[in-house]
Amino acid sequence: MGALVATLFVFTTAQAQNAGNGTSPRSWSFSLEQAKEYALQHNKSIQQAGLALEQAEMAKWATLANYLPQGSLSINYQSYLTNDSISIGAFSIAMNPSSTMTFQITQALVNMNILVGVQLADIAKQIYANAIEQTELAVKQNVNIIYYSIIVSEFSESLLKKNLENIRTLANATRIKVNVGIGEATEADQMDVTVANLENTLQSTERNIEMAYNSLRLMLGVSPDDQLTLTSQLSEITNQTNTFDLLLEPFVLENNIDMKSSNLSLAMSEKQLTSSIYAHLPTVSAVYQRNEKLLTSAFDVTMKNTLVLSASVPLFTGGKNAANVKKARLALKSSQLDNELARDQLLIQEKQLRYNLKSALESFEIQKKNIEVSQRVFDNITRKYEQGLSSSLELTNANNNLLVAQSNYVSAVLSLLNAQDSLQKLLGIL
């Protein structure tokens, strides 16, 4: 348990930001769903992913702008310096300095690569939107893990406190017997050792709980001094009916976040192939130009209005375009294989996760019964010890067996909850 919580603390510290602003501590109360919703609203990673999506939207419009009219205004000044006139037969024409202001509008009429660029930018936007969904799933799963560890640890803490209270009572009674000469000193010493071990275990559990609360504070973005109260009960989140319903939930492959990513990568490869093919096609553009003379020389044939239609047809590029097309085809084939592999892996993963959940549920039911039996045995040995019918060694063994049963139960609960989360994430319903 300690290693689990320590790992969670390190992991969440790397991902979350503390939002404490120096104000007085606040008190928060969260159910599991409320904690996840709050984390989604305040998590820095999600905010960064949202900014990346906005950038992708702007990149899409920047690409689309290439197909819209482009206007420019320029002014030039021209002087012939030493040659201030030219002679044409018997005539001499002065070549005075000239200046022209030019307004130009360029419009792409046919350019398929620009259109494909817009489509590629739209796919890139979808990839960023998918990344936000992936980040949200990761945040919710991390909140679940920490929330589970706190609830389960607090349950374990309550059991340990109950055990410790009982053992302390028996240890005091045993010490009194020794003091009045009707008990063995070794019995009392053994009970003291048992009490010390329980106290140490309880303190370790309390430290782990506080560490988990700190991890949750970081994940939620609240102040380190804020008080957190978790309202979801262990019985609620280990409801077996929910587990059975989850096992019956169908797997829609296209709803899986990893499948969406693979499909988008495939679509990107398809568009890149299309773009390489379109590099062989001609491009057509129109240019309108308006010229206004600011300074005019004696000899000036500049036209005021000009319309130019131009077409560019690639003839040969040394095999570059053909190589690019072949390269894009190979990349597409690789993406198709990756997509097929992703589908196969997810279908296998679904079967494995359903099997894991069934196994975790069976283990949970067994450990739940085991802890009940161990508790009854411990209570029975305790009564016998109070009546002098059992030894401190038997009581210590019964207590150790109960601690093992409690530990196994806690592990089974966490395994069940984590197995549920893994399947829900795969199904896209976490």
What secondary structure does DSSP assign to 331-384, as a single string? HHHHHHHHHHHHHHHHHHHHHHHHHHHHHHHHHHHHHHHHHHHHHHHHHHHHHH
Q: How far apart are CA 167 and CA 173, in angstroms?
A: 10
Is the distance from CB of 421 to CB of 144 less than 8 angstroms?
yes
**Predicted confidence pLDDT, tens digits, the chain (430 residues):** 444 444 444 444 434 444 444 467 899 999 999 999 999 888 777 777 778 788 878 887 887 777 788 889 999 888 776 656 666 666 666 677 788 899 999 988 888 888 888 888 889 888 888 888 888 898 999 999 999 999 999 999 998 898 888 888 888 888 888 888 777 888 888 888 889 998 999 999 999 999 999 999 988 888 889 999 999 988 888 887 788 889 999 999 988 999 999 999 999 999 999 988 888 888 888 999 998 888 776 667 778 888 888 888 887 776 778 888 899 999 999 999 999 999 999 999 999 999 999 999 999 999 999 999 999 998 898 888 888 888 888 888 888 898 899 889 999 999 999 999 999 999 988 8
pTM exceeding 0.85: no
Does residue 305 belong to any structural domain of this protein? Answer: no
Residue 115: which CATH number? Answer: 1.20.1600.10
Is the distance from CB of 66 to CB of 114 less than 8 angstroms?
yes
Does residue 86 belong to any structural domain of this protein? Answer: no
Give the pLDDT score at 7: 44
Closest CA relative to residue 191, chosen from 414, 339, 381: 381
Q: How far apart are CA 11 and CA 18, in angstroms?
A: 14
Structural domain boundaries enclosing 347: 2-9+30-70+109-280+317-427
Closest CA relative to residue 307, chosen from 333, 288, 290: 288
Q: How far apart are CA 172 and CA 190, in angstroms?
A: 12
Does residue 16 belong to any structural domain of this protein? Answer: no
- Cα separation values, 137 from 132, 190, 335, Å: 9, 50, 25
Determine the Cα angle at 325 with ends 321 and 327, to 5°. Answer: 115
Does residue 321 belong to any structural domain of this protein? Answer: yes
Does residue 139 belong to any structural domain of this protein? Answer: yes
Is the distance from CB of 99 to CB of 292 less than 8 angstroms?
no
Domain count of the chain? 1
Give the pLDDT score at 25: 86
Phi and psi angles of residue 222, each rounded to the nearest 5 degrees, phi first: -105, 170
Does residue 296 belong to any structural domain of this protein? Answer: no
**To which residue do tokens 């739209």 refer?**
122
Q: Tell me how far the alpha carbon of residue 368 is from its chain's centroid.
A: 33
Token couple for 116: 């494909």
Identity at 55, one-letter amino acid code: Q
Does residue 222 belong to any structural domain of this protein? Answer: yes
Closest CA relative to residue 76, chosen from 302, 310, 306: 302
Determine the Cα angle at 139 with ends 134 and 144, to 5°. Answer: 125
Does residue 297 belong to any structural domain of this protein? Answer: no
Q: Tell me how far the alpha carbon of residue 395 is from its chain's centroid.
A: 49
> What does the chain come to in residues?
430
Phi and psi angles of residue 300, each rounded to the nearest 5 degrees, phi first: -145, 120
Q: How far apart are CA 203 and CA 205, in angstroms?
A: 5
Token couple for 294: 């600011």
Counting beta carbons within 10 angstroms of the beta carbon of residue 64, is it exposed (0 to 12), middle (13 to 18) or buried (19 or more)?
middle
